[in-house]
């Protein structure tokens, strides 16, 4: 039987293959045992899911196992965004949260994401303990279940709706009155949990909006539920062809990632959104603190941080590391190139809903398109162009990869290597300010090649050099 292994955002698997009721119950029991070992079992656990197949049934199965372990389960009554679960953990002072989501993965996947009492994604020391306990139970069981009715009678199962409390908190962090200056906003929850979260704050204020894909669909309309340019052609067409729409905002299946379209329908890379918001939050909102970015995220953020004299924290890939810094109140904003961000005073978790509304506030207050704001920022701190490619490895190249990465040249792309960063993968900083990062996948024979440079021509040289070095 497949071993349970947690990745950067929990344990994921294909439904009916390794993601089964039996394995889910084992993982939940392992989480329960881990919480008991920490002494927090009296606080209860929030449980929710996204719009994937069987999500609510997995939630109910988890509640039965938790009740059997004597731990109270707070069941979200409908599919719930990941950041909302995070907020509810903190609001209730719960021991943690169990979230059934595979985020932006295709619809045949589901996953279990555990967040401890501090509200962010569990750190590696916690997930390794859950893995150890779960794998020891495979094939032998070890969990006990109570019916939902018995659990409710004993006060161990309670259905909750965290929607209103989260939106009230969001209204303290976003100026919706300013957003009301926009002529129209386009919304796209991508058939996921953002329904009722992207639209309600606008509807209650009479702010004009157009919305698509606002019903639950476990197939996500035939695309992976990721608001990247390749997966939202219908949304791009809507924004591009309606002159009244000033901005397009989208969330992924569990609403922890964002996708932004400018007024002309052009897709704006998340890297640039994080940098723009960093500048806006410091310059306009007067927030104080540093900025955290993953090792794969644009150095445009570093340039903005230098402009404002604030520190930069470079983290491994995985939002848990940024979330930990948010929980320590060190940051104005933290973000990843994969479209996740949060801000000071908010949850230590990616929040696509917050990100979308902050962008809307920024565009409305500044009175400029995103492209205009980006060009203005480039004029102040310099231009940064970022790209990512996936390099598929043959068996021979996969065998040779470790020796290549441990014997790096002193010059690449015609420029001296000034530093090598090993925070996560291998990142080469070059003398002209450009850089490349090699990061090998843990699940497939693929190397993710990231690169950045000051213009498209130089970026093409950097990426070509990185590709040649790995593939020959």
Residue 49 counted as domain residue: yes
pLDDT at 202 over 60: yes
Give dist(CA 143, CA 65) in Å, integer: 7
**Position 248 in a domain:** yes
Q: Are residues 404 and 311 in the same domain?
A: no
Task: Say yes or no: 185 and 302 in one domain.
Answer: yes
| Residues 371, 391 share a domain | no
- The model carries a pTM of 0.96
Domain ends where: 108, 134, 162?
Answer: 162
Q: Are 376 and 400 members of one domain? A: no
pLDDT at 333 exceeding the cut of 60? yes
Residue by residue, what is the 3-state secondary structure of 326-359?
HHCCCEEEEEECCCEEEECCCCCCCCHHHHHHHH
Cα radius of gyration rounded to whole Å, the chain: 22
Query: Residue 328: pLDDT band by 50, 70, 90 thresholds?
Result: very high
Strand spans (E) along 278-434: 290-294, 312-315, 331-336, 340-343, 385-392, 411-412, 415-421, 426-430
Query: Do residue 284 and residue 360 come from a single domain?
Result: yes
Q: DSSP letters of 260-295?
A: EE-TTS-EE-HHHHHHHHHHHHHHTS---SEEEEET
Of the residues 342, 358, 381, which one is the last residue of a structural domain?
381
Q: Is the domain of 275 the same as that of 321?
A: yes
Residue 109 lies in a domain: yes
Whether residue 301 sits in one domain with residue 156:
no
pLDDT band for position 1 (50/70/90)?
Answer: low
Residue 141: what pLDDT?
83
What pLDDT does residue 276 have? 98
Residue that has been written with the tokens 């806006």 in this structure = 280
Q: Mean of the pLDDT values across residues 204-210? A: 97
On whether residue 4 sits in a domain, the answer given is no
Shared domain check, 102 and 27: yes
* Residue 1 forms part of a structural domain: no
Give the span between the Cα atoms of 284 and 306, in whole angstroms: 17
Say whether both 213 and 155 belong to one domain: no
Q: 364 lies in a domain? A: yes
| Beta strands 258-261 and 247-251, pairing class | antiparallel
Residue with tokens 């996948």: 441
Mean pLDDT lowest for which of 100-109, 195-204, 299-308, 319-328? 100-109
Yes or no: say if 228 and 259 are a contact pair by the CB < 8 Å rule.
Answer: yes
CATH number of the domain where residue 344 is located: 3.40.120.10
Give the model's pLDDT for residue 175: 98
Give the domain CATH number at 466: 3.30.310.50
Q: Tell whether 457 is covered by a domain.
A: yes
Together in a domain, 317 and 203: yes
Residue 270 lies in a domain: yes
Are 130 and 95 part of one and the same domain? yes
Q: Domains in the chain: how many in total?
A: 3
Give the pLDDT confidence of 238-268 residue by residue, as tens digits: 999 999 999 999 999 999 999 999 999 999 9
The single residue listed with the structure tokens 């094939």 is 139
Span 359-377, average pLDDT: 98
Burial of residue 59 (CB within 10 Å: 0-12, 13-18, 19+) is buried
pLDDT tens digits, residue range 69-115? 999 999 999 999 999 999 999 999 999 999 999 988 889 999 999 99
Domain closes at, from 381, 400, 431: 381
Q: Are residues 110 and 210 in the same domain?
A: no
Q: Is the pLDDT of residue 9 over 90?
A: no
Q: Among residues of the chain, what percentage have pLDDT more than 70?
A: 100
Q: Which domain holds residue 425?
A: 385-471
Confidence of residue 139 (pLDDT cuts 50, 70, 90): confident
């Amino acid at each position: 039987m497949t071993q349970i292994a947690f990745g950067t955002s929990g344990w994921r698997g294909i439904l009916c293959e390794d993601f089964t009721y039996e394995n889910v119950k084992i993982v939940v029991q392992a989480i329960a045992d881990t919480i008991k070992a920490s002494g927090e079992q009296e606080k209860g656990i929030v449980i929710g899911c996204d719009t994937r197949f069987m999500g609510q049934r997995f939630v109910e199965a988890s509640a039965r196992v938790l009740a059997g372990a004597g731990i109270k389960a707070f069941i979200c009554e409908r599919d719930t965004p990941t950041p909302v679960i995070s907020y509810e953990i903190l609001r209730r002072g719960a021991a943690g949260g169990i979230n059934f989501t595979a985020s932006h993965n295709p619809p045949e996947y589901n996953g279990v994401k555990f967040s401890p009492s501090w509200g962010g994604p569990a750190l590696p020391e916690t997930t390794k303990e859950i893995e150890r306990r779960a794998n020891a139970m495979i094939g032998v069981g070890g969990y006990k279940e109570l019916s939902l009715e018995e659990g409710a009678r004993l006060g161990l199962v309670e259905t909750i709706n965290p929607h209103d409390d989260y939106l009230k908190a969001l209204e303290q962090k976003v100026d919706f009155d300013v957003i009301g200056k926009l002529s129209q906003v386009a919304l796209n929850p991508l058939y996921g949990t953002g329904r009722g979260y992207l639209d309600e704050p606008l509807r209650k204020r009479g702010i004009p909006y157009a919305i698509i894909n606002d019903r639950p669909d476990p197939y996500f309309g035939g695309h992976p539920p990721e608001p990247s340019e390749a997966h939202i052609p219908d949304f791009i067409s809507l924004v591009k062809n309606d002159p009244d729409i000033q901005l397009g905002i989208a969330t992924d299946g569990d609403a922890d990632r964002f996708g932004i379209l400018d007024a002309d329908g052009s897709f704006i890379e998340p890297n640039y959104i994080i940098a723009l918001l960093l500048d806006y939050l410091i310059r306009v909102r007067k927030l104080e603190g540093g900025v955290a970015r993953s090792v794969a995220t644009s150095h445009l953020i570093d340039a903005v941080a230098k402009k404002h004299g604030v520190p930069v924290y470079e983290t491994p890939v995985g939002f848990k590391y940024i979330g930990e810094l948010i929980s320590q109140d060190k940051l104005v904003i933290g973000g990843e190139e994969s479209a996740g961000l949060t801000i000071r005073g908010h949850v230590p978790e990616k929040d696509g809903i917050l990100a979308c509304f902050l962008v809307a506030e920024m565009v409305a207050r500044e009175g400029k398109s995103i492209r205009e704001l980006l060009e203005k920022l480039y004029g102040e701190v310099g231009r940064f162009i970022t790209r990512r490619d996936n390099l598929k490895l043959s068996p021979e190249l996969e065998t040779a990869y470790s020796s290549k990465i441990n014997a790096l040249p002193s010059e690449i792309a015609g420029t001296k290597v000034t530093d090598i960063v090993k925070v996560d993968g291998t990142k080469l900083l070059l003398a002209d300010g450009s850089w490349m990062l090699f990061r090998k996948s843990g699940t497939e024979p693929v190397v993710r090649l990231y690169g950045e440079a000051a213009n498209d021509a130089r970026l093409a040289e950097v990426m070509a050099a990185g590709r040649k070095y790995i593939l020959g």
